Structure 1
Amino acid sequence: MELKIREFSSHQLNANMLWPGTFLFADWLVKNKSILHGRRILELGSGTGALAIFLRKAFQVDITTTDYDDGEIQENIAYNCKANDLGVLPHIRHTWGDQFPVLIPDWDIVIASDILLYVKQYPNLTRTLSFLLKEYKGCSQNAGSSASTAITNKSGTQVPVKFPIFLMSCRRRIGKDQSLFFEECEKAGLEVQHLGALVYLIYTKQ
């Protein structure tokens, strides 16, 4: 699939460009597309909106974009939706760590790629993620869908998981700084699993 994506010349939070991890994650999601069926999806750090646009066009998923509270980002995502013959996707302006604008989150799957850029933001990101996973109330329209699924990990084993889940890709192997994010997640009562191909699964501990 070919997409038309407009990028900024610059942006203070690097939301101006299409990051390499997006392509990696898109490929992984194509191979694991069954987990997306019938699910409500929220993307954190949507940037240009490319991944959300791809998933909407490829699989007709119900997806909402989010990024920093910035009108330029929102306008560019809307522009890219229209450039790819899509209606404008729902968008939420949200600064990590602040109160989330939706008080009762009902997204089954939260996704993100290449968002571990600023170590100082890890506690705020974890706070937002904890809210989305721990305060989740399944959407009534998904009442007929299973509350769980299975995802294949790096060793080829099927890992049973219960919604909601967070799936994240990184364009490079996790280093010392990035590992601090996973430590924050574990302190917040979240479980972290490496699925392979630089994709990570995070969910609430049962």
Structure 2
Amino acid sequence: MGTENADDYLMLSGIQHDFFCKRQWALIHIEQYWKENELTVSGNILHKKVDQPFLKERRGNKFFSRAIPVISHKLKFVGKLDMVEFHKDKNGVEINGEKGCWKPIIIEYKNGKPKIYDYDRMQLVAEVIALEETLKVDIDKAYFFYNDIKRREEVIVTDDDRNKVLEASKEMMKHFNLGSTFEGESHKNCSKCSLIEYCMPRVTKKKKNIDNYLERFLL
């Protein structure tokens, strides 16, 4: 797969920021602002243990490769995968330096535990799309490994997931090209964000109902 215009592509990992908070994504990827906190530091430590591109493990009819570079021209994303587990499979693809055909399964490492929101999932789906393009193979599932629970969580990749990622990637590229940053909004997760002091999210309050106000204080 060629890498034409790859210098103009966005970082694949940014889609997780975009689904978590669009303003956070814009501050990091458009304004190039970043600050560490306890959560980001612990995440970096976890990924440093995983992202060792020259380390390959083999167990029976499968092997593991780490820090694999990928590119998606459909999404206009470039990135690096934590780990891909290759299983020997006649319906898989040929891999340089390996005999036979292999089926790839992405393993994405995350701090914490499974989330009820989509932002981790959408990053994993984007990784699947990028690896499919890179290796010219169909992939229907992938896994998270959450550090707090020390086990894998399977994710089945649906057409709806793929469409969400594709639409998000178009919006991200549009805003990146315009250089426009989203306005801030107050959210319960703001306190966990390392950029909160720079972001200064807008505090929104529910407007008082004038009739209730008059009834309570004047009648």
TM-score norm. by structure 1 comes to 0.29
